[in-house]
């Protein structure tokens, strides 16, 4: 199976040998290191998804609080953001632990 990825340094498409690769080759990897560019690979595991979902739930609560306590001009915006995030999260089945990923 061929994996086509975009290099995190130069932006060119390349055929990756592993799904965790970030750069098209040693030159880009070295250049990124010398330039101080830090790119971290994050595996798409269920635990990270559930943690991010929990953070979004917390953000919904924060926006709900702001909808009542923020300056008047921001209340409607905060309420709409909270409603949108709430609707989005309610439409997804992310509360159960996923099966083996």
In this prediction, residue 97 carries a pLDDT of 47
Q: For residue 77, name the pLDDT band (cuts at 50, 70, 90).
A: very high
- Domain layout of the chain by residue ranges: 3-34, 46-90
Cα(10)–Cα(6) distance, integer angstroms: 8
The more confident residue out of 57 and 80 is 80
Token couple for 24:
């098209």
The answer to whether 9 and 29 are in contact (CB under 8 A) is yes
Q: Cα–Cα distance between 35 and 37 in angstroms, integer? A: 6
Can you tell me the distance from the alpha carbon of 2 to that of 74, in angstroms, rounded to the nearest whole number? 49
What mean pLDDT is predicted for residues 21-49? 78
Instruction: Write down the pLDDT at residue 37.
Output: 76
Closest CA to 64 of 50, 74, 54, 73: 74
What is the percent of the chain with per-residue pLDDT over 70, rounded to a whole number? 80
Q: From its phi and psi, is residue 19 left (phi > 0), alpha (psi between -120 and 50) or beta?
A: alpha
Helix (H) / strand (E) containing 14: strand 13-16
Computed over every residue of the chain, the mean pLDDT equals: 82
């Amino acid at each position: 199976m061929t994996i086509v990825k975009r290099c995190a340094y130069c932006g060119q498409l390349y055929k990756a040998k592993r799904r965790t690769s970030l750069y098209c080759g040693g030159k880009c990897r070295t250049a990124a290191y010398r330039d101080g560019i830090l790119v971290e690979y994050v595996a798409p595991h269920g635990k990270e998804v559930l943690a991010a979902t929990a953070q979004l739930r917390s953000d919904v609560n924060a926006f709900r609080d702001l909808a009542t306590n923020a300056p008047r001009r921001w209340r409607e915006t905060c309420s709409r953001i909270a409603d949108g995030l709430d609707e989005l999260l309610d439409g997804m089945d992310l509360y159960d632990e996923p099966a083996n990923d």
